[in-house]
Amino acid sequence: EINDKTSSIKIEKWDGSSSVTYNTVKLSNGKYSIKSVANEKYVVAENGGSDPLIANRESCGGAWESIKIENNGDGTVSLKSSANGKYVCAVIDENNQLLPRSESVGTWEKFIIEKISDGEYALYSLANGKYVQANLNDGGKLFATSESVAGAWEVFDINRN
């Protein structure tokens, strides 16, 4: 069950002429599926979590497509792959790809979930201050590389399993 009560964190992006503001949301701890709005595919930890996250599945039915959201004490969340039990990391020194490889939570494993509209969310990476996108020019791989929520590539449906 999703708790759409806003938290005290407010993210504002300035594009030079107008400010776009999204409210952060607190989702309950638990297992979720994440679906890219851009290609309508589910995010998966390919190869049992050994490969970067990618939005390429038609359905969600197993551990590879299940991500555990864990709330951190600072208002951020961490994503834990059910495929390998490791935290998803925005790997800054490897093209900002999202990879479930970490045993513990540090800055690279922290994200803020922002509500874009009903049922649609963006993921903001604390590692580099950028939004996660499903890059359709790279098969739907997830990277923390967007300066803003420019369109569907940065928007995800997040639903409780």
Q: Is the dihedral of CA 107, 77, 25, 57 positive or negative?
A: positive
* pLDDT reported for residue 23: 87
Six-digit token string for 45: 């930890």
* pLDDT reported for residue 10: 39
* pLDDT reported for residue 46: 94
* pLDDT reported for residue 12: 45
**By three-state DSSP, how is residue 3 classified?**
strand
Q: Give me the count of residues in the chain.
A: 161
Parts of the chain with a pLDDT under 50: 1-14, 17
Six-digit token string for 125: 């990476």
Contact by Cβ (8 Å): 62, 46: no
* pLDDT reported for residue 19: 58
Contact by Cβ (8 Å): 24, 7: yes
Helices (H), the chain: 46-49
* pLDDT reported for residue 21: 74
Contact by Cβ (8 Å): 45, 64: yes
* pLDDT reported for residue 132: 98
